[in-house]
Amino acid sequence: MKNIRYGCGNLPLHQSLTPVDSLLLPFSSSSANANGTLGEHAKMLWCVAKRVCKAVHICLRKYRTQIYFYKQDKKGTRYTRFQKRGRFKLYKQLFIFLITLIIFLGGILTKLPFSIELNMAIASQTIQLPLSTRGAKIVDAKGKRVLLQGVNWFGIETNTHVPHGLWRRDYKEMLAQIKQLGYNLIRLPYSVQALRSSDVSGIDFSIGSNKELEAKTPLEVMDLIIQECDRQGLLILLDSHRLNDERIPELWYGDGFSEADWINTWIELAIRYKNQANVIGADLKNEPHGIASWGTNKILTDWRLAAQRAGNAILNVNPDWLIVVQGVENNVPGQKLKNYWHGGNLEGVKRYPIRLSRRHKLVYSPHEYGPGVYNQPYFLEKNFPKNLRDRWQIGFHYISSQSIAPILIGEFGGRLSDTSSPEGIWQTEFVKYIGDKNLSFAYWSWNPNSADTGGILGDDWQSVDLPKQQLLSQLLDVETRALAFAERSVGKLAVRGASPTGEGIASGPLSVVEGGNGGIRGVNTIASSLASVQLNVTTDIYSNWETGFCVSFKIKNSGTNKVDNWQLKFNMKQAVINNSWNANFQQRDLEYTVTPLDWGRVIEANQIRDIGFCANKQGNDYQPTQIKVI
């Protein structure tokens, strides 16, 4: 049999395959992981199936079942069919039955579909945890280079105490979409206040797996999200984003919390997740700025010294974690550049490096934004955008290029990703830079309700901002495919929004339409009293639960000329706003005046601006009324 080459139809298989191998080849390839090796379940299946098929093969030969083979001539240029004839019926049926049984058992044992998507679902298993550093690289336990390519999913650091969007989506579905788009990391912000609280809000528990989050504390919700990330092959970087739920402080203490509160929270988390391997590290403090310094040796303001204290305390109880340290804004002795973003100035690392008890656990992490967030002076220079790469090299990348430590871009993002607007040009250039330098990153943000940047998700919390994802896909290991979770219907309505949060509130006499997930959606169009302006506002309560609701206002310019410096006014009695997007909401008694952010002040002809908020109910009369644009 050594000179015989087996195949199906006219397509010969590999010369080294036996008849049994050729039968099992489809199952082995579909059970392989991303490196082409078999998982433990698949190996077990292979051994069992191979023995069964070999026994059947011998049985069939014994009873001279009709089988066709292909014989290759000595020159290897021609295949000649020859056959053995014999009784056929019973043993052919037995053969087919056993092969069918093998396929069935394969689906159970591997618990994975026979598809290309399999390799993506278990891709994280090719990263051998824990992670460490080697020069400018992050490496896994086998020394293989790892690029962290992630998103920021915020919300735990706000007064909802959970990641945002759970009023609209199943949290497991949300994580699956992140994975599907090619990301391998979630940077998960929290506040110390949230983790000490027992209350959560902003979750529709009637949506799918969200019922698992009911009656849970913020920390227990975090547990479940991290565990689900582990199941789906996503890594977690924890981020101490705020101390209280309201703002990002300049320093690592303040707002009613001490340094001990900050460090002790980190120690508690490091112990809690010590055996949760997909939690890879601690981003010690979000965006030190203001009076925060680097290398000044002032105990109250030198962020470098504080980071060392916290990092070593964490490594003392959990030596596996990466310690991620951001920069400052200013106050670095001898710094060359001005006008840094909060946390973006790492010039001081060369003269005043962080020194940890475990050298190979340190990662530096600048934040970088474009003119859509704030129009820094260097965006207005004549040599923009050619001036950007020199700034990035001086500000942070020298750390990587000199192999001092790896760089993880902890935040960057913007609304525009075109090649003509200043923000689009900046973002395109920075994505190219990240790719050219092989840097890890976490994009800000996954959420659409980041007021100045928007997110990867559309305002409905389900569709994807295609131009932005296409830009980011240049950095990812997979191509942008079916951009996940296209428009879905909720009840009788198609959920589709236009605001960075995808949340909304209703006003006036509402036309209530049946909504899914226990929510109420109202649609009410009110013409502006200023006919010359020709602005219309559509109010939509798209999420409504027992203690709160979310509403969006979509302001459309139906005229032929652009409108500038518009405002929205409404009354609201028994509700308190806890989160808003794309505008500033100012209250005076029962009346609210809403002013758009700078980028949204102008509404071109036929353009729509989307603003909104979420609020806590204080009674039954909570809906906004008397809504008008002026």
Cβ atoms of residues 349 and 364 within 8 Å: yes
Q: In the Cβ-directed half-sphere of 312, how many Cα atoms lie within 13 Å?
A: 9
As a whole number of angstroms, the distance between CA 436 and CA 139 comes to 19
Q: Which two tokens stand for residue 273?
A: 């997740």
Asked about 214 being catalytic, the answer comes back as no
Asked about 287 being catalytic, the answer comes back as yes
As a whole number of angstroms, the distance between CA 541 and CA 613 comes to 10
Closest CA to 332 of 288, 376, 362, 375: 288
Lookup result for tokens 């003269």: 351
Closest CA to 193 of 229, 218, 224, 226: 218
As a whole number of angstroms, the distance between CA 327 and CA 348 comes to 8
Could you give the strand order of the β-sheet that contains 408-409, starting from the edge strand earlier in sequence? Answer: 362-364, 322-325, 279-283, 235-242, 185-191, 149-152, 440-443, 408-409
Name residues whose C-beta falls within 8 Å of residue 579's C-beta, 6 or more positions apart in sequence: 158, 159, 160, 164, 202, 449, 501, 503, 613, 614
In sequence order, what DSSP letters do the residues of 195-220 get, joined into one string?
HT-----S--TTSGGGGGGTT--HHH
Instruction: Enumerate the H helices of 137-244 as residue ranges.
Output: 171-180, 192-195, 218-232
Per residue in 19-46, is it b (16+ CB within 10 Å) or e — as a string?
Answer: bbbbbbeebbebbbbbeeebbeebeebb
The catalytically annotated residue of 329, 368, 411, 423 is 411
Cβ atoms of residues 408 and 441 within 8 Å: yes
Distances, alpha carbon 79 to alpha carbons 6, 61, 73, in Å: 10, 22, 7
Cβ atoms of residues 555 and 537 within 8 Å: yes
Name residues whose C-beta falls within 8 Å of residue 37's C-beta, 6 or more positions apart in sequence: none
The catalytically annotated residue of 250, 287, 329, 368 is 287
As a whole number of angstroms, the distance between CA 241 and CA 286 comes to 5
As a whole number of angstroms, the distance between CA 279 and CA 276 comes to 6
Distances, alpha carbon 202 to alpha carbons 19, 156, 513, 615, in Å: 59, 11, 21, 9
Q: What is the DSSP-derived secondary structure letter of residue 131?
A: P
Give catalytic residues, as residue numbers: 287, 411
